[in-house]
Chain A
Amino acid sequence: MSAVATPPSKRAARVVALAGNPNSGKTTIFNALTGARQHVGNYPGVTVEKKEGTVKFGDDVFTVVDLPGTYSLTAFSLEEIVAGNFLIDGKPDAVVDIVDASNPERNLYLAVQLMELGAPVVLALNMSDMAREKGLSIDTKKLSALLGMPVVATVGHKGRGLEELLKAVRTICRDDPLPPKPARRVDYGREIEPHLDQLAARLAVRPACAGHARWLALKLLEGDGDTANRIRSLCPEDCGDIFRETDKLRKHLEGVFGEEIGAVLTDRRYGFIAGACAEVVSQTAEARISQSERVDRIVLNRWLGLPIFALLMFATFFLTFTLGQPLMDGIEAGFGKLGEAVAALWPAGGESRLKSLLVDGIIGGVGGVLVFLPNIMLLFLAIAFLEDSGYMARAAFVMDRLMHRIGLHGKSFIPLLIGFGCTVPAIMATRTLETRRDRLATLLVLPLMSCSARLPIYALLIPAFFPPEWQGPMLWIVYAIGIALAVAGVKLLRITLFKGESAPFVMELPPYHLPTLRGLLVHMWERSWMFLRKAGTVILGISILLWAMSVWPKPGPETMAKFERDRSAIEARKDLSGEDRRAALEKLEHEQGEAELEQSLIGRIGRGVAPALAPLGFDWKISTSLLGALAAKEIFVAQMGIVYSVGQADEESQSLREKLRENYSPLQGFCVMLFCLISMPCMATLTVVWRESGSWKWALFQAGALTALAYTLTLAVFQAGSFLGWGTR
């Protein structure tokens, strides 16, 4: 009778799932509960984030899982499938359903489904302060009795009510006392109920279904595929009978109602909620125009809407890139210094593979990863602000018409805009898109938004080949080609890979909130950490590999010996002044660099692919530089500097421009820009695409498709241009 309580220390942590509608303040409560004790992972096999944290409450330890926001337990998106599966199969010890108290009717739909599921639920009436402001007062006791679940009022961002919430969670976890039976259940009416009972009774004979037979019966009736699978595995022997019976019943009921049965059930649930709300919610004050509506009258105004949107987008871009620049410069300079310091450990002039590996390979590679961090952190700070404040949905509302015409979602605008700065954070920003189809379509065409790393290439080539009055327009043409191709690309994807019904654009416009600093910082940190952990390591590996390919193998000993001889010869010559000698030595060093690159794996591959690229007007030097640009687009410039023996070149290098002018025609120059714009994005981009899409196949597909597109277009332009004699000098 008197069971000995297990000492708390030996008890495994109880699992508490946080469920709720998007924008119900779920994440705020999660952050407030778990503080820094959080962990972000992925659900097995899918790219949906799994956020977990721990809470200590007295002697108890709870593992809190922040489920993706859902409106119902019917699976529409990947997020909802994940959340539903966790609630149903994961059997959490308690479920906290977070309900936006200022909008109870819609939010209670999920609660009613959880009630029907028979899960151990605690209802958190969140943002109860806003509800009060709206003049809503909710009788928590009565609601608790109606739904048969404890109800707690909370204010997430002020941390109010959390203590009571945890108390209720603890009670429900211990089953002490047993949670009250709901005073009322959803009555589906005379036509449905008897059939429902019959089906439920049939399922209830199996122990595995007994606890929630009515729920399973309802879901079967709705024709829910996941539930059918569940039944199939629970009772394999007679699932065929059950399905036949359900199908018959569904057909019959749809005959009676002349409507899809799922719709009828939804109607009834909302009817139940409306009844419950009528009893427990009272409007204590005159309904006033809400604060949000007042803001929206300006922000979504017919004339001001677009300028405000443009302003906020400019601010996001400015924050991310303009303010990020000094930080990036700092990181680059820091790693440069570090490299020099490490290099100084070796005797001057001495060549060592270890030194090269450390300085150029590892330190350079780590720097190449960390250099993305300022952009990513600042961008996600801005995005977190836009999302948490509620503006993100408005941005989509404002832009949707334009983006929808292209075949994308209103929310695709921000990633595409950020793409002009850097593709890597832009691809991470596609997370704001809800459907996988929209996300993939957006991230596949994103590299066509000419990123800032390609600007040095244009900056080098345009002045080299085009007269001043053409330089500005030329740059615009290149950017415009990218945008046009992206639009065409999305259209193409929509009629091929992502054919079919586009996801409905039913999007909630949540009330505005002032974001909390903590929420913003948590969000920013999560993204940055995810980038470092999941993409950073791969990018580092690849950049070391590319470095190795550009260094090995070294030229043969006789070539090296020749350079050594020449160097001694110059040093021995008495007729040269100090200045001239230095220049001669430098020239020799550049020649050696050129010879080394030519001998290296990259140089050899460059020569190998050169015949294939010849119809595009590219020689082996350009081919080799293009290969080097896989590490980062701007490296193309440095590589050209090496193959033309002008040493450390940047986009302002006049001597390199001279060489280019001597060796290539403007048409070839344009073709190089075109190819750089379209072809395979840099390794960091591909890695992030791989990570964000959840499959390396998408990254490979993107690389292949873009390169093929670049090849075809450049070939067409070069051949047509040569034939017509455009820009061929």
Chain B
Amino acid sequence: MTAKLFHELSVSQEDYLETILDLIAEAGAARVRDIARRMNVAKSSVTVALRSLASNRLVNYAPYELVTLSHDGKVMAEKIRRRHDSLANFLVRVLGVDEKTAGANACRIEHAVGEDVVNRLNCFAEFLPNSDIPARELAGAFAKFYAEREKRGGFRESGGGGSPPKDTDGTPSTAADLKPGETARIVRVCGEGKSRRRLQEMGVTRNAPLAVIRRSPLGDPIEVKVRGGSLSLRKEEAREIEVERVKQ
């Protein structure tokens, strides 16, 4: 149950939960005013967000009262907090990022990273001090490896050589991974302002079915069918469209 909700929370909702958890830990309670100040947003925004969190039964909120976390909310907030700490920990101890940068980056990464990856990172950070190889040597070996990789021409586009994220059952999750003939539901459209808006205005929006018709004879642009129209997309654009395969 919790795991499912976990995915449905937006970036900012996760931030709200985390902030509330922090405030409760620090001052025993959270007030709208404090939340607004801490997150640098308007109070009205906080109210709206709290309402939406309350409707998901994650916080207990009524106007002019203190904000508290529900049981589910607390579990989830702690989970988010742990995720943040693990990431920051990993960034500092393994990659040698300074603490401030690590904290800021962890804040951003924590919303996108999958649970599996966090677990592995945790594991790795744990394994380091206990392994036979002295931690210092391992880190040194890693730094060397890193430097070499960088010299060889840097890293591949999609996050340091990894393949795009996969669904739990291993099905591909961007439009670029679909084979001709396959149909999927659009989960979201990533990417930057202009090209993203263009895609959306041409009908590539959430929940619309998307079918890959064919590849160009040279392999690159692909033809997709969305909302009754055929579009040609370069793979780099198709990679921005996250999809979920429709069960046949």
Contact = CB atoms under 8 A, between A and B. Distances in A.
A393 B10 CA distance: 38
A453 B193 CA distance: 45
Nearest to A77: B198
Interface stretch (B45-53, B63-71, B79-87, B121-129): B45-53
Contacts of B231: 506-509
B200 A263 contact: yes
Interface in A231-290: 248, 251-252, 254-260, 262-263, 266-267, 270
B13 interface: yes
Contact of B237 (A302, A305, A505, A511): A505
Given A252-B42, A501-B192, A505-B233, A258 B10 contact: yes
A104 B193 CA distance: 26
Nearest to A70: B201
B197 to A, nearest CB: 6
B62 interface: no
A410 interface: yes
B216 A305 contact: yes
B153 interface: no
Given A258-B12, A305-B217, A252 B227 contact: no
A465 B85 CA distance: 77
B49 A263 contact: no
A449 to B, nearest CB: 21
A507 B237 CA distance: 11
Contact of B217 (A76, A258, A303): A303
Given A259-B10, A508-B229, A404 B220 contact: yes
26 contacts: A71-B198, A71-B202, A72-B201, A76-B194, A76-B198, A105-B228, A258-B11, A258-B13, A270-B208, A292-B230, A296-B214, A300-B217, A300-B223, A301-B217, A397-B221, A400-B218, A400-B220, A400-B232, A501-B192, A501-B194, A505-B221, A506-B199, A506-B232, A507-B221, A508-B232, A510-B230
B109 interface: no
A109 interface: yes
A401 B202 contact: no
A401 B232 contact: no
Nearest to A257: B10
7 shortest interchain CB distances as A-B pairs? A258-B10, A305-B217, A504-B195, A401-B220, A252-B45, A401-B218, A509-B230
A554 interface: no
B205 interface: yes
Contacts of A505: 221, 232-234, 237
Contacts of B204: 506
Contacts of A301: 217
Contacts of A402: 218
Contacts of B170: none
A241 B193 CA distance: 25
Contacts of B13: 258
B103 interface: no
B49 A256 contact: yes
Contact of B199 (A267, A504, A508, A511): A504
Given A255-B12, A255-B49, A256-B49, A400 B201 contact: no
A397 B233 CA distance: 9
B42 A248 contact: yes
Interface string A496-539: 00000101111111110000000000000000000000000000
A103 interface: yes
Contacts of A260: 193, 196
Nearest to A396: B232
B195 A266 contact: no
A259 B228 CA distance: 26
A106 B218 contact: no
Given A71-B202, A501-B192, A504-B237, A401 B44 contact: no
A293 B44 CA distance: 52
Interface residues of B, number: 48
Select the residue from B42, B214, B229 with max chain A CB neighbours within 10 A.
B229
B216 A105 contact: no
A640 interface: no
A103 B48 contact: no
A478 interface: no
Contacts of A71: 198, 201-202
A260 B199 CA distance: 14
A213 interface: no
Select the residue from A104, A293, A393, A509 with max chain B CB neighbours within 10 A.
A509
A106 B195 contact: no
A579 interface: no
Contact of B219 (A72, A262, A401, A506): A401
Given A105-B203, A252-B41, A267-B206, A400 B234 contact: yes
Given A252-B42, A256-B12, A267 B201 contact: no
Nearest to B180: A302
Nearest to A103: B228
Contact of A266 (B197, B219, B232): B197
A506 B198 contact: yes
Given A103-B228, A270-B208, A300 B200 contact: no
A485 interface: no
A104 B203 CA distance: 11
Interface in B1-42: 10-13, 41-42
Contact of B202 (A106, A248, A259, A302): A106
A506 B42 contact: no
Contact of B45 (A251, A259, A397): A251
Contacts of A34: none
A221 B89 CA distance: 39
B201 A266 contact: yes
Contact of B203 (A109, A254, A509): A109
Interface in A347-406: 393, 396-402, 404
A563 to B, nearest CB: 64
Interface string A551-586: 000000000000000000000000000000000000
Nearest to B44: A252
B210 interface: no
Nearest to A510: B230
Contact of B41 (A74, A255, A509): A255
